[in-house]
Structures are given as structure tokens and as C-alpha cells.
Structure 1
Amino acid sequence: MPAVLDGVLYRLVADAAMVAHFLFLAYMAAGGFLAWRWPRTLWAHLAVAGWGVLSIVTGIECPLTLAEDWGRRQAGVAGLTPSGFIDHYIEGVIYPEEYTNLVRLAVAVLVVTSWVGYLWRRRHRDFSRA
């Protein structure tokens, strides 16, 4: 395979990982609201939110970050490490770095609100059927 084609394929891997990462973060922040309509999705959202908390608390690196970093480096482009996905695309780009804890708190409030709303809707639905 020609080297140019290799670079394009690796860049596609990196771009696909980047898109998946943004979708993952969007689902982490607001996916709990999907459970209001589709209750079975709550389990997936619990897992995603749990991963989010685990990655913040432990600093463990996300596999999507590793995949994008690998694809970028294989394509001959600068990788994400050591800064990582959030630092590269979000922190200092979408919001100033000094607001990181405030943004984390806002996301946590959004997630908890979605879960409380889910429980309220479920309880209200169960009582209306009785």
C-alpha cells in the first residue's frame, strides 16, 4: 500500500476516534435524558458516567484518546499525548482552563438531574398505572 494511502487511513482512524470521543462526552453529559424515553439506556449511561468519574479521579487514559493519538502519530501528525483529548479540543478552546472545575460541576449537575428526572418519571408512571 502506498505511504500516502497509509497516512490517509491512519488519519481516518484518528478522526473516527475523535468523533466517537465527542459523541461519548455528549452522551455522558446528556444521555441520562434519553432514559426518560428509553429506560433501558439508563444502564449504558450509568456505565459511561462511571467511566467519566473514574477517569477524572484516577487519571486513567481513555482508549479513544489512545486510538486517536496512535492514528495521528501513524499518519505523521502530532499526537495528543501528553495533553490528552480534553486539553487538546475542549479546555482552553471551548471554555477557559480556569473554569474546568465549574464545567465538571455543571456536567455532574446535568447528569444527576437526568437521573432524578428518570426516577421521578418512573415513579410517577408506576403510580398512575396503579
Structure 2
Amino acid sequence: MFYEAVAYTAVGLHFAFLALGLLGGFAAWRWPRIFWFQLAAAIWLVLVVAANLLCPLTWVEDRARARAGLPAHEGGFLANHVAGVFYPVGHERVAQAVAALLVLSSWAGLLVVRRRRRRAGSPSPSRRPSPDRAARK
């Protein structure tokens, strides 16, 4: 029972990490500091897919499944838990392109949000100086 819970926890953490990597840029619109975590997650996701690296969470899930007596999964997390659920099996490249567009659009939106915040925070030429500034002059 314990190892089964570890395997399912690893799957849950995988989904959370995938969500951070894909959608964290949108969360950064509200919480800008999360961007660096999202960037690291996105880089890791690209490396895992491009270099066919084994994710540590997949390793944990596989070992826990074996110790729990559950059948082994062929392939990694994406093949077993994402393909066929979030995109049709056999359309991995299309799903990767959509994921890349999602991440890049969140980053573009973050740039727009940051520029708007900077403009709103900086005094424009048409604004009057604040009372504190007028008193100092």
C-alpha cells in the first residue's frame, strides 16, 4: 500500500511539474517571482523530451510500482499518463508545438504585463509632481 501511494504521488507531482512548466508563465503575470521556477521547469521539460532523458519522478514511479506489485509501464510519464488523454496518441510533435506556443505566449504576455506595470509606476510628463516632491524643490 505504501509503495502504491508513492507511485501515485509521483504521478501527481509529475502533473504538477508539467503544469508549472506549461502554465507557470501565466501565473507569473500575477506573481512575477514564479517566472524563474517556470523557466527552469520549461527548460527541464525540453531537455527531457529533446534528449530523451529519464525524469527522476519517472524513476521513482517505476520503482514504487515494482515494489507495490503493479504492472510495469512501458515508456515514460508522457506516454503512460498524458498521451491519449491530453492529445491523441501518435501526435506528439503537434502536442509539443502547441506546448511551445503556450509557453512562448505566456512569456510574451508577461513582457506586456511588466511593461504596463512599469509605465503605470513611472511618472508621465503630464502628471503633476507629488506633494512630497514639490516640497523638496
Q: Could you list the runs of 5+ residues in structure 1 that have no partner in the other structure?
A: 1-7
Larger RCO (alpha carbons 8 Å, 6+ apart): 1
Aligned position for 2:61: 68
Per-residue deviation at 1:115?
Answer: 0.6
The count of aligned residue pairs is 122
Give % identity: 41
TM-score (norm 1): 0.88
Aligned position for 1:17: 10
Relative to total residues, which structure has the larger helix share, 1 or 2?
A: 1
Aligned position for 2:41: 48
Q: Does 1:124 align with 2:113?
A: no
When Rg is computed on C-alpha atoms for both structures, the one with the higher figure is 2
Per-residue deviation at 1:45?
Answer: 0.2
When residues 94 and 37 of structure 1 are mapped into structure 2, their CA distance, relative to the original with a 3 A threshold, is closer
- The residue type equivalent to 2:81 in the other structure is Y
- The residue type equivalent to 2:42 in the other structure is A
Q: Does 1:115 align with 2:82?
A: no
Aligned position for 2:130: none
Aligned position for 1:78: 71
Per-residue deviation at 1:79?
Answer: 2.2
- The residue type equivalent to 2:53 in the other structure is I
Counterpart CA distance in 2 for 1:35 and 1:104 is 21
Per-residue deviation at 1:88?
Answer: 1.0
Q: Residue 102 of structure 1 is aligned with which of 94, 102, 105?
A: 94
Q: State the SS of the aligned residue for 2:90.
A: helix
Per-residue deviation at 1:116?
Answer: 0.8
Counterpart CA distance in 1 for 2:47 and 2:75 is 18
- The residue type equivalent to 1:44 in the other structure is F
* RMSD, aligned CA: 1.1
Deviations along 1:64-95, one digit per CA (max 9) or x if unpaired, are 11111110001111122x41111111213442
Are the aligned partners of 1:17 and 1:65 in contact in 2 as well (CA < 8 Å)? yes
Counterpart CA distance in 2 for 1:21 and 1:39 is 23
Q: Does 1:37 align with 2:30?
A: yes
Counterpart CA distance in 1 for 2:114 and 2:87 is 35
Counterpart CA distance in 2 for 1:126 and 1:94 is 37
